[in-house]
A and B are shown apart, each in its own frame.
Chain A
Amino acid sequence: MAAIPAPKILSVSQVNRLVAGMLEEYFSDIWIMGEVSNFKAYPSGHLYFALKDEESQIQAVCFRDSARKLKWKLEDGLLVIGHGRLEVYVPNGKYQIILDTIEPKGLGALQKAFEQLKKKLEQEGLFRQERKRPLPKLPKVIGIVTSPVGAAIHDMLKTLRLHKAHLKVLLYPVQVQGEGAAEQIAGAIAGLGRREDVEVIIVGRGGGSFEDLWPFNEEIVARAIAASRVPVVTGIGHEVDFTIADFVADIRAATPTAAAQIVAQGWHELEERFREVSSDLLNVMQERLFQEEQKVEELSRHRAFELVSRRISEISHQAEMQRAEMVNSIRSRLSGVTATVNSLTVRLSRQSPVAKIKGWQIQLGSLNSRMERSMTARRSGLSARLEGLAGSLNALSPLSSLARGYSICLKPDGRVVKSLSQVDVGEPVMVRVEDGKLGCEVKEKIKGGGNGK
């Protein structure tokens, strides 16, 4: 039988050192995944905890220098991925893993930090609805915290112009990403808040990666918003991006444009109201005038109006009837009167003085003719007598004396000379004889002598 070499007997220390050497050589650069358990942060800054899975666990350490680089905080129950190396503690033969990098599994480190700060501030009550302040309805001065270059400011100003004026904008230019951005943003919010004229603040930033938006997830910004004198509206990134600042803000708008819209909403509504009211004014007046027309139209068709018009036609019909009746009665009365008048005329004509006069005229005529007849008769009688008388008278007439030879001496004036005294010698006289006259002159006046008779 071959001799069995005597077994090499190692001391405990030797074993542990050998193990340490082997483990530390083979496990000097490994990634490990496990759930944090039994976490302890020491005042020195070192972090001690165990990483475990369903079946096993390993002690882990994160020394101060590595721990300081963590933006988020380790806690029990977190599933993490760590990078590091194994180290064996020779005195007790236990090994542990020294981690220089730890990332939350599933979430990025920033995401984790986000979750943690969110949780912390939520617990403090910073996101509570009661803390949210109403925005001024019609702000006159709006503070804006954003970068002076880029889409955000451009969009906000464009929107404010669109939703109109009445506004003054105070821009507090800040850096919105990178080192120091959070401090600037926090300072700007406080700075604008100190100005008495600023009534509302917009904190805005255009879209970017989660890392780009990071400053808005920092506690200093959240605190500044919470402490702001005036309400803060956030419009950070795009619709899907939520930052811690958004949670603390009095109003979270999806985008910078939306933030500007919300702030100017009151003005916008006022202007809309104005436009509506001014068109209402015209419409209501037109409507009124239309109604007036309708009223007139309706009235003209109204039953009462119809009744009135029927009544009018009735009345006019009645009036017509009455008129006809009256005309008839007048006519009949008139014909009665006419008859009366006629009969009266007849009667009257019978008693008329005309008739009497005629009668009288006839009487007169007959009297006249009777008178004439008797007159004629008398005249012819008288005439016969007159002729008889004339014959006898003739015998007595001086003219017949003349015929018998007598003459008559007449003065020029026609007086018959009957006495001497009537004439003077030399005076012309006319001597009338039967067949003419003799012009004579008194030659002498001889008294006495007469003619013997």
Chain B
Amino acid sequence: MDESLLEKREGSLDNDNETTTWVEYWLDGELVHRSAHVALKQAPPIAAEAASLT
């Protein structure tokens, strides 16, 4: 494949939950490759509690 014919598109997303990047390669208007990388920032904690006896 002549790689010069490929059109590269990239994108990203960043919010409180994740930082995501992706890359796409298009050939003659057709998507031939798409990869994505999601970096999770955090997850909500599970709460635990000691109940009062009164």
Answer whether A and B are interacting partners.
no
* Residue positions of B touching A, CB distance < 8 A: none
Q: A: which residues have CB within 8 A of B?
A: none
